Amino acid sequence: MKIKVMNKKGLELAINTIVILVLAIVVLLFLVLFFTEAGKDFFKKVRGYSSEVNVDEVITSCNILADTNSVYEFCCGKKVVEYYTIENKITEENISCNELVNKSYINNKINSLDCEEIKC
């Protein structure tokens, strides 16, 4: 008496299809979140795991502008800077790299460019 062995290729195909569908749905949900207002809230929550201030990133950006001699962008381009105040509150300021050079929380870490001849 012979026992029939089922063909397992059909089962493998079904499992692969289900895995691909689940991954496609996850990617689509991520894209919908990314391109809608819900994405902003999502990124704020994710950002909560990193630093709440961006002073170091702005310093790096301003130093790159100074090193490449991008005078107009250094003198006139505004950057959003988030930093802690003395009361330990986060403050946001829209400021150019040139104005940022003299701020106390920068501690002379930004290379300077001459902005006297530039009109913003």
Q: How confident is the model at residue 106 (pLDDT cuts 50, 70, 90)?
A: confident
Give residue 48's pLDDT: 57
Q: Give residue-wise pLDDT tens across range 17-36.
A: 889 999 999 999 888 877 77
Tell me the average pLDDT across 79-105: 87
Query: Cα separation of 18 and 16, whole Å?
Result: 5
**Is the pLDDT confidence value at 8 over 70?**
no
Give residue 53's pLDDT: 77
Structure tokens at 42: 């999502």
Structure tokens at 1: 């008496």
CA 30 from centre of chain:
16
Give residue 30's pLDDT: 83
Q: Give residue-wise pLDDT tens across range 60-83.
A: 999 999 999 999 999 999 999 888
Backbone conformation region of residue 114, classed left if phi is above 0, alpha if psi is from -120 to 50, else beta: beta
CA 6 from centre of chain:
52
**Is the pLDDT confidence value at 6 over 70?**
no
